[in-house]
Amino acid sequence: MRTVEWHDGIVRMIDQKALPWKTEMVDLPNYKAVAAAITDMTVRGAPAIGASAAFGMALAAKQSSATSVGEMMQDLGQAADVLKAARPTAVNLAWAVDRLMNFAQVGKYPTADAIREALLNEAQRVADEDVAINKKMGANGAALIKDGDTILHHCNTGALATVDYGTALGVVRAAFEQGKKIHVLLDETRPRLQGARLSAWEMEQLGVSYDILPDTAAGYYMQKGEIKIVLVGADRVAANGDFANKIGTYQVAVLAKENNIPFYTVAPTSTIDLNLATGAEIPIEERGKEEVLTPYGNPLTPEHFKARNPAFDVTPHRYLSGIITENGIARPPFSESLKRVVAGEQV
């Protein structure tokens, strides 16, 4: 099944908060519900967020009472603002909303109904493209995986984080489908445990060998020589190759460098933001302290204790061996190679 899809005039998605205990679908009747699902992480993962936002824009057009193109564009502008505010770090969110807005721009379609139809078709195109792009990235990255490799992975980047197939775990999937015998070590990824809950669930569905690790154990297994390659995802990549990903990625990258282990991020070109010169310009989302102190309603400390909860960190490009995209593997200097892959060149 797809993580998110258009179903009978509404947006349907897997409730990622319920996994791995239950597999549930939620139906979202309007764009505000889509924005709320993005904020509360019912749906998560940059590509999945982008597709959800695209369908949210199509839903806003469908439910708008506008009878003129001008009124429709006004309603879409309001929906765009709400959706883009849902989570600030993942560039795919703004990318998808802007793509739909540009598609509906005044003068392109003669009527409000024409915009409604066009936006639904474009949102579906965003979702379908994501699946095809993921499979290309998987094939490109699988060439780096050797038979018998143990791979370290942080957070969740499989089918759940995309429309289908996956980014970094899509590489794992592609290598597994090629018949390579591989083993994956999954950082649990506190505080929301995307690795322990979601990545492990996905590996079980695929039949891939895995172990969950405490986040603090990655260096131990690197030092022992068990880990041959590190694969992670990205929520936004700056023009120089710095990238934001789930909190804890930076320390994994530093440990990999110290232990001479190749470290790759896997990201579609829609995640590359050439408008940002460096990772210092990437906005970092801060989430509530309850995720740290009371994960999934289970209190770890007295509720008055203080906590800080950045959702992402930025890994400097000097720690990267390469960035796996649908157009090949971008390598240093990233200021040149990223321009090429974004332009559609094969590298």
pLDDT above 80 (res 338): yes
Contact partners, residue 191, CB within 8 Å, separation at least 6: 291, 292, 295, 309
Is 90 exceeded by the pLDDT of residue 15?
yes
Q: What's residue 108's pLDDT? A: 84
- End-to-end CA gap in the chain: 32
Q: Residue ranges of the domains in the chain? A: 4-134, 139-342
Confidence of residue 80 (pLDDT cuts 50, 70, 90): very high
Query: Environment class of residue 222 by beta-carbon count within 10 Å: exposed (0-12), middle (13-18) or buried (19+)?
Result: buried
- pLDDT per position as a tens digit, 209-240: 999 999 999 999 999 999 999 999 999 999 99
| Distance from C-alpha of 346 to C-alpha of 342, rounded to nearest angstrom | 10
CA 80 → CA 102, 166, 323, distances in Å? 11, 26, 30
Could you please report the per-residue DSSP string of 314-338?
A: EE-GGG-SEEEETTEEE-SSHHHHH
How would CATH label the architecture of 139-342? Answer: 3-Layer(aba) Sandwich (3.40)
pLDDT of residue 105: 87
Distances (CA, A) of 287 to 204, 295, 311: 29, 12, 6
> Is the pLDDT assigned to residue 90 strictly greater than 90?
no
Does pTM surpass 0.85?
Answer: yes
Residue 88 has pLDDT above 90, yes or no: no
Flag whether pLDDT at 335 surpasses 90. yes
Q: Which tens digits make up the pLDDT trace of 175-211?
A: 999 999 999 999 999 999 999 999 999 999 999 999 9
The span from the CA of 8 to the CA of 15, in Å, is 18
Q: Where in the sequence numbering do the catalytic residues fall?
A: 235
Average pLDDT of the residues in 139-149: 98
Q: What share of the chain is helix, strand, coil (3-state, %, to 5)?
A: 45, 20, 35
Structural tokens at position 63: 């439910």
Q: Confirm if 9 and 61 have CB atoms less than 8 A apart.
A: no
312-340 mean pLDDT: 98
CATH number assigned to the domain with residue range 4-134, chosen from the 4 options 3.40.50.1970, 1.20.120.420, 3.30.230.80, 1.25.40.10: 1.20.120.420
Q: Identify the CA nearest to 87 among candidates 34, 129, 130.
A: 34
Cis? peptide before 191, omega within 30° of 0: yes
pLDDT at 1: 77
